[in-house]
Amino acid sequence: MKFEPKTLDFERSPYTGMTYESWIEAGKYLLEGIFQHIGSFSDPVVVPRKETKVSYPHSADAVWEQKAEYFEGLARSFFVAAPLIGADPEIAVCGYKLREYYKSMVLRSCTKDDPVSVGSYEQMQEVSGDRERAFQQTVETCALVICLWVCKPQIWDTYTKEEKDVIAAFLTGYANGNTVPQNWRLFNMLDMAFLHMEGYPIDEEIMAEHAQAIVNYYAGDGWYRDGHSFDYYSCWAFNVYAPLWNLWYGYEHAPYLAAKFEEYSNRLMETYPDFFDRDGFTNMWGRSNIYRNAATSAFDGNLFLKDSRADPGLARRICSGSLLQFLSREDFLYQGVPTLGFYGQFTPLVQGYSCAESPFWLGKAFLCLHLPKDHPFWTAKEHNGTWEKLGEKEVKEIALNGPALCFSNHQANGSTILRTGKVKKAPGDLHGMWNYSKLAYHTKYPWESSPAQDVEAQQYVLFDQTSGQYERCNVTFWRGKKDGVLYRRQYFHYSPEKETHWNHAVNLADFTVPYGIFRADRLRLYRRPVSLTLGAFGFPDNGTEVIRLECKGAKAILLKGYDFTGKEKQLAMTVYGGWQELSLVKSVGTNPDSEHSIVIYAKGEWHKRYSYAPGLLLSQVITKESLEDFLPEEIFPVESVRCTDPQGCGIYGPVEIALKDGTAKRIDFEGIEGELSL
């Protein structure tokens, strides 16, 4: 059953109607789904799991994985429950008084030899026999201290001194213990900051070591590098935990670092609202997509700062829009709890570090309920920022060179499209490539996994006929924007052991059009014969009309249909010179929105080992959220293409592309070799 808010106010919230009370209702909706599976007051938070092959526990005998699952269930559901307890200490769900349940379970989880103890750090080291390992429990201790802070008068302050000491000793082990050298450092920092606030001794040297590392992961424009990658961990980890650390510890004890964390959060707020689309939708991109609207928690984090620059009315509009993106769908829940998916269950995105309770990381979005009811976040009138200023077919584009992110807001269809760079994945890491290496990510067309061996949505797939291998682009270098064109380079089957000239590659050049993205990519092959495909976005197939069109040698396929919820959808892919074929593949189980899907794809072949042949690949993908026909000039937008080389192959020198709307783009890869970054 999908969520339907009872309390709505379209005067204060003209876009969503959502209010403080609506969010309380949403929290109860999620908690009721959880607590219907808790048989008695003494049972831990364990919920049904639809997917059992990838996620953990991996076997019934994996006792310590079960302990980790207990802790995820407790700590992450607490993200939702804690602000509700703070708002109403007597709140009950499914007959359980939340305050009493979580007070009991938090203490028991930290108590050695209790049946629901999740294992102290020392116990975990002993059991694993690995003195260098970090444990999942470290992640959840951070959630635990945040939630104890959120409802401090109702739970933490009611423990006896002896009970607090038990919890503090448990936290201290993980605070001082091994961690993963990326966003995990913040978990240790917040554990220590909480303990310090409550009068317990901490190791200030460890605190300083972690804090300096975190501030030095910063890459610019509000984004932090998490390992090699950039993804939502910048938003739901760095830009949530660092502001809380400022409040608890940094402002007083590390003012330089606190000022940096505040500055970086405010820098994120300058552009982050445009990361979401006109409906406030979150883009499916990066790992841990099961956390969904947790991406909006960066707004909550910023609003906790002393000098917050987030726009409250815009922040609430986005937070509420993203919440409804998921909770308003019938397929979002499995037996009352969020699926291991983006919408419904979608196994291709599931990662082995997740369990059935992991999706409740999305509960971070509910930290906004810790803001008082009279806070501007709740009292300001909703507005839609950029979307209220754009003309009918105008596009706003932002390119951030630090994190290598380019996102465009398309007023014509209300979508936001993200293009990324500085991506490095292992050659066989399909999951990593789906999450990070696609050419574009679309808020209304979540990424599709492999529909066929030789086709990927929004990815090139190359077949090297000499080696007999299919190759995908696992590395994306970033050059950035120049004269309205975004330049990148992707390598097929890239390995650092090989000189790059022994890798097939493609120089990417793309620019926005009102309904999507136009591509003018140039092949960089070291041998032939090869064949190549390029897929459009995956299209939900719930009864689809397929229309084939041609215009002066250009080909297009148009799809008209509906998504899982019944909303009208339309997608067109057009190809020009360089490509020989345009076709489609139907698939099952590879699309996050619908069980059945269609991917349109272009195909070309290059046979002679050394040949001077067309190597500029022109294509376009455009979409609409209605069945209203595209104009002919929108499907076939090119008026002329003027190449530098007399043969007209476009494989060296600038290429001038004139469009039928009177605009023109100059594609020029000169100098890209010395300007690429990873």
For 203-258, the pLDDT digits (tens) are 999 999 999 999 999 999 999 999 899 999 999 999 999 999 999 999 999 999 99
- Does 115 score more than 90 pLDDT? yes
The model's confidence at residue 438, banded by pLDDT at 50, 70 and 90, is very high
pLDDT for residue 64 = 86
The model's confidence at residue 59, banded by pLDDT at 50, 70 and 90, is confident
Q: Which of 234, 225, 233 is nearest to 265 (CA)?
A: 234
- Does 578 score more than 90 pLDDT? no
300-326: average pLDDT: 98
Tokens 């200490």 -> residue: 89
The model's confidence at residue 415, banded by pLDDT at 50, 70 and 90, is very high
Tokens 């084939």 -> residue: 548
pLDDT, mean over the chain: 97
Interval 181-217: pLDDT, tens: 999 999 999 999 999 999 999 999 999 999 999 999 9
pLDDT for residue 677 = 98
Number of residues assigned to the chain:
678
pLDDT for residue 78 = 98
- Does 154 score more than 90 pLDDT? yes
In the chain, % of residues over pLDDT 70: 100
The model's confidence at residue 610, banded by pLDDT at 50, 70 and 90, is confident
pLDDT for residue 567 = 98
Using CA atoms, how far apart are residues 332 and 342, in angstroms rounded to an integer? 8
Q: Which of 418, 436, 419, 420 is nearest to 474 (CA)?
A: 436
Helix (H, G, I), strand (E, B) or coil at 514: coil
Interval 446-496: pLDDT, tens: 999 999 999 999 999 999 999 999 999 999 999 999 999 999 999 999 998
What is the three-state SS of 238-281? Answer: HHHHHHHHHHHHHHHHCHHHHHHHHHHHHHHHHHHHHHCCCCCC
Contact status, residue 600 vs residue 457, Cβ threshold 8 Å = no
pLDDT for residue 63 = 87
Contact status, residue 134 vs residue 177, Cβ threshold 8 Å = yes
Architecture of the 20-385 domain = Alpha/alpha barrel (1.50)
The model's confidence at residue 272, banded by pLDDT at 50, 70 and 90, is very high
Top-confidence residue, 78 or 61: 78
Using CA atoms, how far apart are residues 26 and 613, in angstroms rounded to an integer? 58
99-109: average pLDDT: 98
- Does 675 score more than 90 pLDDT? yes
Interval 633-663: pLDDT, tens: 999 999 999 999 999 889 999 999 999 999 9
pLDDT for residue 577 = 83
Rg (CA), the chain: 26
pLDDT for residue 130 = 86
Using CA atoms, how far apart are residues 358 and 354, in angstroms rounded to an integer? 6
pLDDT for residue 60 = 78
Which residues, listed in sequence order, are joined to residue 333 by a DSSP beta bridge?
A: 338
551-577: average pLDDT: 97
In the chain, % of residues over pLDDT 90: 96
Ordered by start, the domain boundaries in the chain are 20-385, 396-674
The model's confidence at residue 323, banded by pLDDT at 50, 70 and 90, is very high
- Does 101 score more than 90 pLDDT? yes
- Does 614 score more than 90 pLDDT? no
Fold entry, domain 396-674: Beta-galactosidase; Chain A, domain 5 (2.70.98)
Q: Kindly provide the b/e burial profile for residues 55-73, where b requires at least 16 CB atoms within 10 angstroms of the residue's own CB.
A: bbbeeeeeebebbbbbbbb
Query: What are the C-alpha distances in Å from 663 to residues 513, 530, 655?
Result: 10, 34, 14
The model's confidence at residue 10, banded by pLDDT at 50, 70 and 90, is very high
pLDDT for residue 639 = 98
pTM for this structure?
Answer: 0.97
Joined together, the tokens standing for residue 106 give: 């938090």
588-614: average pLDDT: 94
